[in-house]
Amino acid sequence: MSDLPRKAVTRTAKLAALPLGIAGRATWGLGKRIVGESAEIVGRELQQRTADQLFKVLGELKGGAMKFGQALSVFESALPEEIAGPYRATLTKLQEAAPPMPGRTVHAVLAERLGENWRDLFLEFEDKPAAAASIGQVHRGVWHDGREVAVKVQYPGAGEALLSDLNQLSRFARLLGPLVPGMDVKPLIAELRDRVSEELDYGLEAQAQQVHAEEFDGDPDVVVPGVVHQTDQVLITEWMDGIPLAEIISDGTEEQRNRAGQLLARFLFSGPARTGLLHADPHPGNFRLLPGGPDGEDDWRLGVLDFGTVDRLPGGLPVTIGEALRMTLDGEAETVYEMLCEEGFVKESIELDPDAVLDYLLPIIEPAQVDEFTFTRGWMRSQAARVADPRSPAYQLGKQLNLPPAYLLIHRVTLSTIGVLCQLGATVRLREELEEWLPGFVPEAEEERAAEA
């Protein structure tokens, strides 16, 4: 019997306690205001206490609770430093680990899925998990042909726990929203819930990972472990060492941070162009920095893990994104506005000022305006504050824009990747990657001239 759901009642009770705790702290905050403390100080303390409890609970649970925590963790850089600082360590733990499943449960799953003689398939198998995630944990082993492997074992009951947690979290999404300024939590939870069946299907994950492994085989910048064996609830892939990106964020050198940031941006934009798939879970726990790139041991490559969530984009990223981005940079307000209307970003019932829309977009795409941009938590916080302040014109305009379903996952992946780049504090030549990989960003005439040359 798995300890993932423990008892469904216990999980539900822990999650249900979150809004009660938030309400209790709000009452406490009101009391502090009555006795004369400033609204700003009380609000900051209230937010910090709420965040502490939220990430403590999410860190104790697997399933949808942890998945939601991981998704939120990449937006840590949008939070005020006095709030983010105290629980940054908790967020790092969410990205890398969870309480392990008992050995007897792991053995039972392996016996059921690989056969009673499953140990004969391995020369070595470590019972202690090397890593634990939201729906499964990873054990290190040596396959019968001598290859070092990662054995990913899905928690029994993972599907029920995922859905239960996300349904529970969606009920009080409004209360969690203020933790991440400028981020609408409810669509994030809904989108995570919609992806549950894909996450649980290790066949789909194996297929997506193998497509990437073959495409990036021998690549000087990106490494994807190949798939060794797959059944329901068990996925065996080649083992990959390296420095977890969370460690680079906390202790990496400037060179490591910049290299990791550049390669992360490169993978984000080149992946769909090369494989027709977008890796859709870009939190730091899914990346490693590996020594030994094209320039020797002192160079670095990016190792990529976990292809459980991907967006299928057969033609690569939509050409509309590249065209709209280029035209925004060129100040073509009317053309950009028409394109946004055609794609459904502006509903037919709403009419907006094209110049105001341009003013709203330009600060967000600042990293694409220059040859080299340094992503910082300060920049991320300024963007979040700009779109989250009800007094701001950007807030009022942002409320009227719409995100079409086809762009939901692309939007979240882009935001999440920017969040990780800001956590890294990386200096990145983003425009270079856009020109190389984003359809529509370079005008067709220029592309044709470059191809002829």
Catalytic residues: 281
Pairing of strands 287-293, 131-132: unpaired
Residues 405/366, Cβ–Cβ less than 8 Å: no
Q: Which of 67, 55, 44 is nearest to 21 (CA)?
A: 55
User: Which residue(s) pair with 124 in the sheet?
Assistant: 142
Q: Which of 303, 292, 283 is nearest to 416 (CA)?
A: 283
- Block residue for tokens 């379903």: 405
Q: What are phi and psi of 282, to 5 degrees?
A: -85, 60
Q: Which of 222, 443, 408 is nearest to 323 (CA)?
A: 443
Looking at residue 204, its amino acid is L
The distance in angstroms from the start CA to the end CA of the chain is: 64
User: Which residue(s) pair with 140 in the sheet?
Assistant: 150
Question: In Å, how far are 49, 140, 173, 228 from 116, measured between CA atoms?
Answer: 49, 19, 44, 19
Q: How far apart are CA 241 and CA 238, in angstroms?
A: 10
Q: How far apart are CA 65 and CA 68, in angstroms?
A: 5
The alpha-helical segments, DSSP class H, found in 216-253 are 245-251
- Block residue for tokens 């033609």: 315
